Structure 1
């Protein structure tokens, strides 16, 4: 049974925007936690600069952090997870109707505990409605409305994070070009309960191949991140308003390795189903990933030759299990 975000009996107290990254106790590494009080790209001032510094440090060191963003209400989060349960309860043949010409998009059938549905261009209401009609020919306005409302807010967080990243790297002049080079994929994910207390692999270790991923989880644990030193961190949200932001291989390559693209996985135990929703910022088909010349220096020599992301994804389909696929495909 779907376990939605639980009602909170106490009000979440926002951290001061200029607080330091939460790095955990001295004897145990934890994922950095960053509070985002902003809603748009026009924010500035000391708070913006402080949060920007935290974002940069987190993406350089971990390639990932927990983002506290209360602009997405708990009611909206709960409503979306209810919609996910109904989606994955649909007949397999119905779900198979959602296809995409982009590798790893569309519906991905159950594999071990994992099953997912990718919806391209989730910021395009017509395309979302077309997908909804495939799944529910009689119509289901609540699904498309809830999904789009959720993604509209989360995409603002994506844009804030990317703007902060480019500013921190001193390449903000490429911001407009960078934003226009991507589109949004919504991936709706179900992990079936393993029905055992022994850890089972829900999703194997991997890096994301896109630019940035922002993940929203229900209350069932399982997400783990590997640090640069090889230690695995359990990503347990500290707030009901939390998201997890990951930089992907495309951003790692574009920044010439200045930000980290972390390995992560999902490990499952128990008898409860896990649901998650990811907003994936993906380079548009045909777009070439090329590091700005300002980020290629003697200290930071070029790591990857320019490559077309969509062509790399097709290569990836033919090289399953290749842990260093990007390096093999485009490494200098």
Structure 2
């Protein structure tokens, strides 16, 4: 769907063949004394896409374009799909990675199942996504190298890890 929307269908097969996945079970403990407290700091995922399913205990918050934090109150059988930094780099900033965090309150433990997709090899902006209105923003980069950069002090402190790592 993303590839069709941007007119880059010819790149779909090579993209599909270069993906790898991580399925992760996440547990966030209820805070002491039922106070509201951060359980996971604000960040963007270093993925192409992240798909999350939670156990009905809310806590996921996303940052809006105007900087407001929005608490997501989701029906029990719903999924959240978020673009990661790799989508942002691949799309030449047409898709923005979703800044989010987890804040816990109440007396229940939060469980989340996350499916995270990564790209093996170099990620390059398709030439069809570069024009006068959208000049090339990123040098080709490696998804795993970006994660390794994020583990450094410079990567963690950057406002945008992706831009600090490979922005032109």
Shorter-normalised TM-score: what interval?
A: over 0.9
Unaligned runs of 5+ in 2: none
Match status 1:266 vs 2:105: no
Shift of 1:196: 3.0
Is the CA contact (8 Å cut-off) linking 1:196 and 1:269 kept in structure 2? no
Structure 2 match to 1:209: 46
Matched, 1:318 2:155: no
Cα deviation 1:259-308 (Å, max 9, x = unaligned): 11111000001211110010001112xx1110000001110111111111
Separation in 2 of the partners of 1:312 and 1:260?
16
Question: Which has more radius of gyration?
Answer: 1
Determine if contact 2:51/2:79 at 8 Å carries over to the other structure.
yes
Question: 1:154-193, aligned counterparts within 5 Å?
Answer: 164-193=1-30
1:104-115 alignment runs, 5 A limit: none
Q: Which runs of 5+ in 1 are unaligned?
A: 1-163
Is it true that 1:251 corresponds to 2:87 in the alignment?
yes
CA distance in 2, matches of 1:222, 1:323: 23
Q: Per-residue displacement from partner, 1:27-68 (whole Å, max 9, x unpaired)?
A: xxxxxxxxxxxxxxxxxxxxxxxxxxxxxxxxxxxxxxxxxx
For the residues of structure 2 that align with 1:232 and 1:318, how far apart are their CA atoms?
26
Q: TM-score, normalising length from structure 2?
A: 0.94
Aligned-residue Cα RMSD (Å) equals 1.1
Alpha-carbon separation, structure 1, partners of 2:58 and 2:33: 14
The equivalent residue for 1:291 is: 125
1:221 counterpart = 2:55: no
Which structure carries more strand by proportion? Answer: 2
Q: Which has the higher contact order (CA 8 A, sep 6+)?
A: 2
Compute the displacement of 1:326 (Å).
Answer: 1.3
TM-score by length of 1: 0.49
Q: Number of residues paired by the alignment? A: 166
Match of 1:200 in 2: 37
In the alignment, the residues of structure 2 paired with residue 196 and residue 229 of structure 1 have an alpha-carbon distance, to the nearest angstrom, of: 32
Runs of 4+ deviating beyond 3 Å: none
Report the equivalent of 1:61: none
Residue 301 of structure 1: aligned partner? 135
